[in-house]
Amino acid sequence: MLLSELQSLATKTSGLYFAYGTMAFLSLILLVGLFFAKQKSKWLLGLFGCVSVVNTGYLMLSLAKSLPFALFCNAFSYLGSVFLPFFMLMQITQALNIKVSKAVVTALVAVGFAMLLLTSSPGILDVYYKSAELVTQNGVSVLKKEYGVLHITYLFYLVGYFAAMITVAIYSVAKKKTSGAAHSAILIAAVFINLAVWLLEQFIETHYELLSVSYVVCELFLLGITFLQAPAERVSPPPQKPLSEQGKLFLDGLSTLTAAERAIYELHISGISSKEIMTRQSISENTLKYHNRNIYGKLGVSGKKELVAIARELGAASK
């Protein structure tokens, strides 16, 4: 009987360690893989980085043997948790072509740092946690916490971001900034899954941080948004009306563009500025100029103005 109970405990312990380790490893793999993806942005990289930090913090906390180290691991996981909704909101606005001013971004970052200081205060102040004790549950280290008067601030912080994400999704549909209902459904699903899991953990005692899983699911949702998102405009198939020699050269050249050149070409014809293209593609001005020379040469145009004019003309001719 005793041997059976010990085996059961060992199984639970190894299972929890394995679960935390798996989520941390998967988060890291997704982050590294994103660096090699052709379609990525600084916001998406930041979001994936936050998820990796959170899950690494959960894993470290489960292995903690002292209260000071456990509090450090808890603060480390909050580093990712606090800024994750910021990067998620920024990625959503970019995916839906909604411009956010630098002043708003700066203000959100400042609020994030203030929240990070608050969530990192346990062990120094008793306003976020009144007390914290390191206990062992099923062989895994867990912080047993008594919440302080300012703990509810984090709830307001999360709800504020979730409300902003839902508002952005609704605004996108109202203004027809997204190509269909599928994008909005993915966005809203990602928002509500994380909100529901966080609330669940506040009212039901669990032996495992379920957010470690829901954050990875969130990553997959946002990958879906990124790769399902259609470019704002595409040159239509070859027109039925007779084409000029320049038009034929232009269309033939399109098939020779590399993936990076095609992405920049489509951003050009969507009407956005070169500065915005550099931001979205995370490239320098010299790199953009290099791609532009290749694009113009392959399409037989002298510059961006002629490129946009011919692209629109061919699009109109095909209707």
Instruction: Write down the pLDDT at residue 73.
Output: 92
Model confidence, pTM: 0.62
Half-sphere exposure of 27 (CA within 13 A, CB side): 29
Q: What is the pLDDT of residue 117?
A: 95
User: What is the reported pLDDT for 302?
Assistant: 86
pLDDT at 287: 92
In the predicted model, residues of the chain with pLDDT beneath 50 are: 1-13, 179-180, 230-239, 316-319
Domains, in order of start, for the chain: 2-228 (1.20.1070.10), 245-317 (1.10.10.10)
Burial of 272 (0-12, 13-18, 19+ CB in 10 A): middle
Cα(159)–Cα(175) distance, integer angstroms: 24
Six-digit token string for 222 = 């946002």
Report the C-alpha gap between 46 and 52 in whole angstroms: 10
For residues 211 and 145, give the distance between their C-alpha atoms in angstroms, rounded to a whole number: 17
- Residue 185: predicted pLDDT: 61
pLDDT at residue 114 in the model: 96
Q: pLDDT at position 120, please?
A: 93
- What is the per-residue burial (b if ≥16 Cβ within 10 Å, else e) of 168-205? bbeebeeeebbeeeebbebbbebbebbbebbeeeeeee
Q: Which two tokens stand for residue 209?
A: 């941080």
Distances (CA, A) of 278 to 48, 118, 288: 21, 35, 7
**What's the pLDDT at 34?**
76
The residues that bridge with 145 in the sheet, in sequence order, are 132
Q: Determine the pLDDT at residue 28.
A: 85
| Cα distance between residue 206 and residue 284, in whole Å | 47
